[in-house]
Every structure is written in C-alpha cells, then in structure tokens.
Amino acid sequence: MHASHFKTTIVGLPILLAGLLIQAAAAGPKVGTLCRVKGQEENTLHAMGLVVGLKGTGDSGNFSPTIRSLAIVMERMGTPVGSGDLAQLKSAKNAALVHVSATIPPAGARQGDRIDCVVSAVGSSADLTGGRLVLTYMLGPIPSANGEVFAIAEGDITVESTDLRTKGKIHAGCRLEQEFPCRYVRDGKLTLVLKPQYAGFRVAQEVSEMINGPQLLFQSGSRPIAKAIDAVNIEVEVPRQYLDDPVHFIRQVLELDMVSVPLAARVVINERAGSIVISGDVEIAPVAIAHRNIVVETSEAAGAGPFVPVDPADPQNPKLKSLVTSLNAINVPAADIIEIIKLVNANGALTGELVFE
C-alpha cells in the first residue's frame, strides 16, 4: 500500500447492530432549520419524593432520610408519628426516597397541562417496580426563597428497562400549577440562536444577510433589521407593523430559504442517542488508534495483516464519514465508534470541530 488509507483490524468482534444515525447537512435549508428562537428553551422541575407500595424492595431501615420523609407524609395526612413509632417505621420495606424531575418542552406549557415525570431512587432501593409516587410538590428550575410550587406530581411508576429498575416514569404524572409562556420578543427584538452543528461567524453573517435581503426588505422600510452579534446569536428587529403580531413575522423569518450554508467541517455527537452528524469533509491525519479489539491506522505504513480498506477512491485524504460507515457496516457498536472518534480527536488527527450535544 503506497498511499495513506485506513487499516481496521477486528478480533473476535461480537455481531451487534450499532443503532447509529449518520446524517449530512442538507443543501439550502430554511433559516428555521439552522436556528431556534431565543425563548424556546426547556425548563426542568424537580423535587424529592416518596414512593410507596414496593414489594419489599424499598430502602433499608438504616436509611434515615426515607424514615423522616415517611413520618412527614404521615403527619401531613393526620397521622402524627411519635418518637417511639420511628423505630417501627425502620422495619418498613415498601417505601423509598426518590428524586422526581419533569421537563417543560421548549414551546412552553399552560397551567393544568400534564407532562411525564421521571423518578429515580436515591437510597438503597434496587427496584421501583410496582411503586406509586406520593403527592409531591415540584420546585422550579431555580428554587424560589418562598418555596413556590410549580407543579404537582403523583402516580404509578412504570419501570421501562429491566436493566435499570431504580429509574422509572410516570406518564402524564405531573400537573402544572404555573404558566410557562415563551417570551420571544424583548424590547422590540428577537434573537435567533444557531444550533451547535451550524454555529460559526460565517453562518451567522449569512443568516443576517438573508434576513436583510429582498424577501423582507419591503417590510423593514428598506433598512437592515438583522445583525450577527457573535458566532451563535443573530439579533432581529421586529418591524413596527408586526409588534402586535410577532408570530406572523417570526414565521416569515424562519421560512426563508438559505441559498447555501457555508458549514465548517464539524462532527456533532449525541452519546445518549448514539448519533453522529458529520458536516463537510472531515478528514483524518495519519494516526494509529487501538480501542478494545479494534485497530484503526491512517498512514503509509498501514498495510500489513488483515484489514478493511476504507475510502479507496481517495486514499490520500481519508474521510471520517468513510471510517464511520465502514465500522457501522461490520456492526461495531455506536458507543465504540464514538470512542474511536474521541481518540482520533484527542491525538489531533481530526481536521474538524468535535461538538457534543
């Protein structure tokens, strides 16, 4: 082998399907594909709660926070617990202390809406199957000094993974007690936020120029209304005629078609979803990487022994996309592919930006 190429050696690799998603950035997307409107952020509510009804899988009697929580709940329900009763509560095996969280969607939510909540064991309970969350008051993303309640959660827990029985979900178990509106316009302006895979000074400038272009020019009095603040944020002034109806204007902005998007070579990884998004021609410099029973080499010396050739059409400039496609074709798990990309980047051999979502 006289040219630089990939050498991938696989030793005893189990045949597993890598749940891997590889995407390339589409040409000419809409502005709404590249950006979100500031104000469209998730909010997380949280609380500590008590699960009852477990079949002997609750916290042990030595975990005092659960005993105290159980005593507080009983007192609130009209059954005060004396000091002598605490010793008896220690023998209860059907209660567990849990952390409860619920995520308000980016679009906001209204009072009375019901959303899912996630319940995770805090103490020694190893299985929440069959449990029920006792009425729990949910606090806001930033707890207020007066302990303002933003939602109430309760209900039967569904454990969705047999491999992780200490975590479950209550479908529609959280009822919102407060409004969560999305405030898009502040001081007559809205801010577009580039998504991580598109963030960059050049893209921000292209988006602002598109908004200032002829499609919206007649609505802005023939003057620029958009300005790129940095590599992520584009500030847009709402024309006077839309101040009372900003949604109409926002829709027009987000539906503008970008002629081209000058994307830098970038790799966006979501480890939780097991996804890799590659934009641009991300190349790999000469490097040798060993991970578990996988060896990846990109050098002129790579050529001895069994190997899987990658990107034979352009051996001088091996592409990351070709490597990922080849590893996925031989059923390398997504987690291992992501670890290999991390190792390539850590050795300075990745000619592109690595972004984690």
Q: DSSP letters along 119-173, please?
A: EEE-SS----TT-EEEEEEEB-SS--TT----EEEEEE-B---TT-TTEEEEEEE
Neighbours of 266 (CB within 10 A): 20
Which of 113-127, 298-312, 313-327 is predicted most confidently? 113-127
Residue 263 is predicted with a pLDDT of: 65
Tokens linked to 239: 């024309």
Secondary structure of residue 21 in the 3-state scheme: strand
52-64 confidence digits (pLDDT tens): 999 989 888 778 7
Query: Domain end: 132, 151, 176, which one?
Result: 176
Number of domains present in the structure of the chain: 3
User: Are 329 and 268 a contacting pair, CB within 8 Å?
Assistant: no
Q: Pick the last residue of a domain from 254, 275, 301.
A: 254
> What is residue 23's predicted lDDT score, i.e. its pLDDT?
46
259 assigned to some structural domain: no
192 and 163 together in one domain:
no
Contact 239, 226 (CB under 8 A): no
Structural domain contains residue 270: yes
The answer to whether residues 138 and 73 belong to one domain is: yes
Q: Which stretches of 177-310 are assigned E, i.e. beta strand? A: 189-194, 226-228, 233-237, 266-270, 275-279, 283-284, 287-291, 294-299
Q: Which residue has the tokens 């990922």?
A: 324
- Three-state DSSP class for residue 8: strand
Residue 232 reports pLDDT greater than 80: yes
Tokens of 40: 């469209």
Q: What is the pLDDT of residue 61?
A: 72
Residue 28 pLDDT: 66
Q: Are residues 62 and 148 in the same domain?
A: yes
Q: Cα-flanking dihedrals φ and ψ of residue 252, to 5°?
A: -65, -40
Which pTM does this prediction carry?
0.64
265: pLDDT confidence band, cut at 50, 70 and 90? confident
- 284 neighbors 344 (Cβ within 8 angstroms): yes
Judgement on whether residues 36 and 48 belong to the same structural domain of the protein: no
Is residue 112 one of the residues assigned to a domain?
A: yes
Residues 218 and 299 in one domain: no
Last residue of a domain, one of 214, 232, 254: 254
Q: What is the Cα–Cα distance from 340 to 338, expressed in whole angstroms? A: 5
pLDDT attached to residue 211: 92
Containing structural domain, residue 208: 31-40+183-254
pLDDT for the residue numbered 85: 64
